[in-house]
Amino acid sequence: MTSNTTTQDASGVTLVVTAEQAGTRLDKALTLLSVEISRARLQQVIKEGGVRLNGAVFTDASRKVVEGDELALVMPEAKPADPVGQDIPLNVVFEDDDLIVIDKPAGLVVHPAGGHEDGTLVNALIAHCGASLSGIGGVRRPGIVHRLDKDTSGLLVVAKTDKAHQGLAKQFADHGRTGPLERAYLAIAWGVPRRHNGTIEANLERSNRNREKMAVVSEDKGREAITHFTVIERYPALLKGTQETEPLASLIECRLETGRTHQIRVHMSHIGHPLLGDQLYGSGFMTKASRLPEKARAALDTLGRQALHAALLGFAHPVTGEDMHFESEPPEDFALLQAELAAL
C-alpha cells in the first residue's frame, strides 16, 4: 500500500496524492490532511482560495486529483464571533477543551434569531469560552448540535471545537438508535395516558395555520417523530365544583428517538395530554387550569411556561470516547408545581 507524504511549513500543510487516492474529488482528498476539519469547512476554504494545487490556487472542490498532484492547504485564521459575547451567567455542569454542558434556565433563547438578536446562550458562551473556541465553520463560535425551547429548562451540550462538533452531530443525528446518546425529559401533563408507558409515532411539520406551531401530519408528509413515555407519578383529581375521579395530572418521563421542534409538546397534546402551562399546544385546557385549588393555580401561574425540563443527558465524549452522563433536578418553579399537585 502506498502511503501519503505530508509536510507542514509556514505555507501550510501539503499532501502528495497517491495512486489509491487518484480520481477522488479535491475536497475529499484534503480530508486526509486533518480529520478534525469537516468536509464542508474544507469546501469553504477551497472556495476562498486557501488551497493550492501543484503550486497554483485552485477553487473547484469537485476537481478530480491524479497521482502525484501536490495539494497545499492553508487554513485562514478564524474570524471573530458574530454575534458578540455577552456576560450572561451560566450554570456550567461540565467543561473541557472540547465541549461544555450547560443547565439552561427557562427563558434563555439558545441561538440568535428574529426577535432575539442577542441575550442568547450563544452570546453567553462566546463570552464564557473566549479564545478556547476554535473556528467552527470559520468563525469562533460554539457548535450547537441540539436545542431546547426558550421556556424549556435543562441540560444542553455544546461543542467548542470542530472535531467535537462533528462527533456530537453524528450522535444526535443517530438519536441514540445505535449509539450511546440518551435524552430524557420530565413533563407535567394534564390527565394520565391510558397506558403506563408507550410510544408516540406521529410525523411533524410546520403548521399552515400558525407558523409558530408544529402539527401532526400523515405518514407520507413531514418528518418522522418518535417519543417514548413513562408515567412516573399521578396527581389526585380535586377540581372545584366537580366530582371527577380521574387523576388531574401526571408527571411523565419522555425519551426522544428523534429531535423535532416542539416534539414532546406536540406529541403529548396529540394524545390528549398537553403540558401544563403550554399556551401554544394546551390552550384548550385553560378552563381546567382556572379551577385548580388556589395554591396549585398560583404555582402554575408562577411557572408561566410549559412544564418541561431536560433532566438527563448522556453521550460518548466525541474526542476521548468516554461515557458522559449528566442529570439535572427540576428548577424551583417546576418543583413547586409538582409539590402543590402532589399535595392535593
Domain extents in the chain: 5-73, 92-174, 182-342
110-115-121 Cα angle (round to 5): 20
Sign of CA dihedral 259, 265, 266, 272: positive
Q: What is d(CA 193, CA 229) in angstroms, rounded to the nearest whole number?
A: 9
Helix (H) or strand (E) holding 337: helix 332-342
Residue by residue, pLDDT tens for the chain (344 residues) are: 344 554 444 445 777 878 777 888 888 877 765 555 667 777 877 887 778 888 888 888 888 888 888 888 776 665 554 668 899 999 999 999 999 999 999 999 997 765 666 889 989 998 998 877 865 555 566 888 899 999 999 999 999 988 899 899 999 988 888 889 999 999 999 999 999 999 999 999 998 888 789 999 999 999 999 999 999 999 986 555 555 567 889 999 999 999 899 999 999 999 999 999 999 999 888 778 887 889 999 999 999 999 999 999 999 999 999 999 999 999 999 999 999 999 87
Q: Kindly give the interhelix angle for 294-303 and 332-342, rounded to the nearest 10 degrees.
A: 160
Give pLDDT, residue 60: 86
Give pLDDT, residue 158: 94
Q: Is 208 exposed, middle or buried (0-12, 13-18, 19+ CB in 10 A)?
A: exposed
Give pLDDT, residue 262: 96
Give pLDDT, residue 134: 66
Q: Which CATH architecture has domain 5-73?
A: Roll (3.10)
Give pLDDT, residue 55: 82
Q: Is the fold of 92-174 the same as that of 182-342? A: yes
Q: What is d(CA 13, CA 9) in angstroms, rounded to the nearest whole number?
A: 7
Q: What is d(CA 157, CA 79) in angstroms, rounded to the nearest whole number?
A: 23
Q: Is 17 exposed, middle or buried (0-12, 13-18, 19+ CB in 10 A)?
A: buried
Name the residue with cell 475529499: 28
Q: Do the Cβ atoms of 81 and 133 come closer than 8 Å? A: yes
Q: What is d(CA 254, CA 231) in angstroms, rounded to the nearest whole number?
A: 9
Give me the active site residues, please. Answer: 149
**What is the CATH class of 182-342?**
alpha beta
Who contacts 329 (Cβ-Cβ below 8 Å, separation ≥6)? 311, 335
Torsions phi, psi of 105, nearest 5? -80, 155
Q: What is d(CA 266, CA 161) in angstroms, rounded to the nearest whole number?
A: 33
Q: What is d(CA 287, CA 326) in angstroms, rounded to the nearest whole number?
A: 37
Grid cell in block for residue 189: 401533563
Torsions phi, psi of 164, nearest 5? -65, -35
**What is the CATH class of 92-174?**
alpha beta
Chain centroid, CA 189 distance in Å: 23
pTM: predicted TM-score of the whole model, two decimal places: 0.75
C-alpha distances in angstroms, 201 versus 62, 262, 269, 290? 40, 14, 13, 31
